[in-house]
A = this chain, B = another copy of it.
Amino acid sequence: MASSQKLLTDEEEVLAVNRTFYTALHTLDMSLMAQVWSHEDWVKCLHPGWDLLLGWDEVQGSWEEIFRSTDQMMVSISRPLVHVARDVAWISCLENVTTAYHNDFSSALVEATNIFQRCQGRWLLVHHHTTPLAQPPPDANAPVQ
C-alpha cells in the first residue's frame, strides 16, 4: 500500500502543478508562468498555430507575446489523465479556451500533452504540446446568420 500511496501523492502533486499552469494562463500571470516552467534550453512548446519553440527564452517570449495581445482568457480543463514514471510525468487534458482580444473573441477546444520533470523535489513543466480539435458542427436548427 505504501508504494501505491506514494504514487498517488506524486500524481496529485503533478495535477496541482498542472492546475497552477492553467491558473497562470487564465490570469495572464507571467511571474506564475515562469515558476511552473523549467528554464532549461531544451524545454519545448507548441502553441496552436505556431511552430515548435525550443528553450525557455523562446517559450517565455511566446507567453509574453500572447499575454500582451490578450485582454482576457478563460480556460477550464477537463479529463486530466496523469501518468508518473519516477521523476517524469505527463498529463493529457482537454483545454476549453475562450480568448478575448482586439474587441473580438474566439473559443477553442484543445487537446494538450504536458510533460513534467521533478527537479530537486519540484515538478516543473518541460514540454507543452497543443492541438486544436475540430469543433462540433453548428446546431442545424440554429437560425442562419
CB distance from A111 to the nearest CB of B (A): 6
Which residue of chain B is the closest to A84 with respect to CB atoms? B88
A111 touches B54 (CB 8 A): no
Q: How large is the interface on A (under 10, 10 to 19, 20 to 34, 35 or more residues)?
A: 20 to 34
A111 touches B46 (CB 8 A): yes
Within the oligomer, what is the number of copies of this chain?
A: 2
B134 touches A49 (CB 8 A): yes
A66 interface residue per 8 A CB criterion? no
A13 interface residue per 8 A CB criterion? no
B130 touches A131 (CB 8 A): yes
Closest 9 CB pairs of A and B: A88-B88, A131-B131, A113-B129, A85-B88, A129-B129, A44-B92, A42-B83, A46-B111, A113-B113
Cross-chain pairs A/B with CB under 8 angstroms, 30 sampled: A42-B81, A42-B83, A44-B81, A46-B111, A46-B113, A46-B131, A49-B134, A51-B111, A51-B133, A52-B111, A54-B81, A83-B126, A85-B87, A85-B88, A85-B117, A86-B86, A86-B87, A86-B88, A88-B88, A90-B115, A90-B127, A92-B127, A113-B113, A113-B115, A113-B129, A115-B115, A129-B129, A129-B131, A130-B131, A131-B131
